[in-house]
Amino acid sequence: MPYFWLAILGWLTYFILKRSVPPLTGRQLWLLWLVMMSPSLLWMGWTLTNPNEPIPPALVFGSFMICSFLYLLMLRNWRGTLPTKANETENGSDTPIGQASNAAKAAAEIVANRDRPKPKPPLNSDEEAQLRQCFSWTTFVLNKIEYRLQAVVCQGKLKGDAEQVYGTVQKNVEGRFGDRFLVLLQEDFQGKPFFALVPNPQVSPKLKKLVNPTYRYGLASFLFLLTLLTTTLIGTGLAGAPITSAESIINSPELLLQGLPYAIPLLLILGFHESGHFFAARHYKLKSTLPYFIPVPGLLGTFGAFVQIRSPMPNRKTLFDVGIAGPLAGLVVALPLLIWGVHHSQIVPLQEQTSFLNFAALNPRISILMALLGRLLLGSELTTSSAVALHPVAIAGYLGILVTALNLMPIGQLDGGHMVHAMFGQRGGAMIGQVTRILVICLALLQRDLLIWAFMLLLIPAMDEPALNDVSELDDRRDGLGLAALAMLLLIILPVPPALANLLL
């Protein structure tokens, strides 16, 4: 099993590196992959050779810091030799852009790339004069126009409310240039707002097929049915009637019914989670795919589901609403199912070895939320020396809140990363993401089941993609809702402190 997870982690690392860093040669990409995988290889090696001993903190933090330094050093040394997307386009090469949001990435490079050679200006003198007319002293006092990689940067001083100013300037630009550009309102490293015009990828007929796809109902239905089958097979094993061959299904098809109390609630939770993102995107008229389930013939029967949003986020409010819609929708289903399942679970003796996935004897002290529910639903019979044998419905609900907790991690492009980006800005969200990584590593020293989470969080870029209007802030209601969601994350992943153990159990 450890080798399987290591292989999955290696594949995810390669996939993320290939999509998140600039174009690399094969040797450079594999060297970066090896550097990123080194901490997990070292930690896994220690776990396999010393199964009864915790990983030394020096090995955890030392490997993390050294490999992070090497990663940044390698990228810095290769940065000047890597071809830019702007240069590739000028040379006539085909640069596939899978999502319209990729155009927004150029804004993050505007300030950091001032020392690079300036490309050919995308506007002539007449067009630049038209662009200047899009600004006024009542909206944005334009000081100068600069041409950067993939962008026209308009620097000046913001006047009035950022959201109203952005709407006015965007309308003026569209009136003069049509859909040729995406209009971005960003902040530089000094916190000063600036406008940027980025070529709109949806103008290309070829790219329109990528960013405006038709819904693939057949593929979504096939993946759902296949995931229903794999989770049902896992559910039969959890119910005590594992299916070991196809002949057993043919001879006794009723065995599959025993797996449905696990499979149906789990898919219901995952489906509601992704449908929350899907319908929130539809509400804001963003282009997205249907929810796609990921079947796995083993383990838990699935790796979850996903929705891919193919439009840039117009502002931080939309980013927050789309990000939090999934976890909220998932919790609305997961919590009632978990409560019902825990109420129908049994109390068993506590085992020496416990983990987040020990469904036959789950230590409720592993999570503050589980301890609270255990105390309320199972009463005084649940003590510090007892565990809970989860009902299949409780297993599905429990996995649902774990998936929610993972998505609520305030890092990068996870749901929690979108939330803190919207609440505290792009740079503030990135800083929170870096701190979260360190805290999860510290927590993994106490709870070794979190090591796989720590591995995964190391691979996710800490900085989220900017919204088109990345300056306008959230209202108090959304800020409060975001803080409540982060509090739920802490209740799910934090173990019960010793001082509260006697009160809760």
Give the C-alpha separation, 153 to 348, whole Å.
Answer: 65
Mean of the pLDDT values across residues 217-244?
A: 86
Q: What share of the chain is helix, strand, coil (3-state, %, to 5)?
A: 60, 10, 30
Mean of the pLDDT values across residues 21-33?
A: 69
Identify the CA nearest to 429 among candidates 415, 443, 446, 445.
415
Give the C-alpha separation, 423 to 474, whole Å.
Answer: 6
More confident residue, 118 or 145: 145
82 DSSP 8-state letter = S
pLDDT in tens, 97-122: 333 344 444 444 444 444 455 556 77
pLDDT in tens, 360-382: 888 888 889 999 998 888 887 78
92 DSSP 8-state letter = T
User: DSSP states of 413-440 as a string?
Assistant: TSHHHHHHHHHHHHHHHHHHHHHHHHHH
Q: What is the enclosing helix (H) or strand (E) of 348?
A: strand 346-349
467 DSSP 8-state letter = P
Give the C-alpha separation, 321 to 317, whole Å.
Answer: 6
Q: What pTM was estimated for this model as a whole?
A: 0.76
Q: Give strand pairing partners of 193.
A: 187
In this predicted structure, the answer to whether residue 429 has a pLDDT above a threshold of 60 is: yes
Query: With contact defined as beta carbons under 8 Å apart, do 431 and 422 qualify?
Result: no
Q: What is the enclosing helix (H) or strand (E) of 143?
A: strand 140-148
pLDDT in tens, 236-293: 888 877 776 667 777 777 778 888 999 999 999 999 999 999 999 999 999 888 999 9
Name the pLDDT band for 481 (thresholds 50, 70, 90): very high
Question: Between the ranges 56-60, 69-73, 266-270, where is the mean pLDDT highest?
Answer: 266-270
- Helix axis angle, 316-343 relative to 415-446, nearest 10°? 50
145-172: b (≥16 Cβ within 10 Å) or e: beebbbbbbbbbebeeebbebbbbbbeb
More confident residue, 134 or 65: 134
Give the C-alpha separation, 163 to 185, whole Å.
Answer: 9
Taking all residues of the chain, what is their mean pLDDT, rounded to a whole number?
80
Give the C-alpha separation, 259 to 257, whole Å.
Answer: 5
pLDDT in tens, 313-336: 999 999 999 999 999 999 999 999
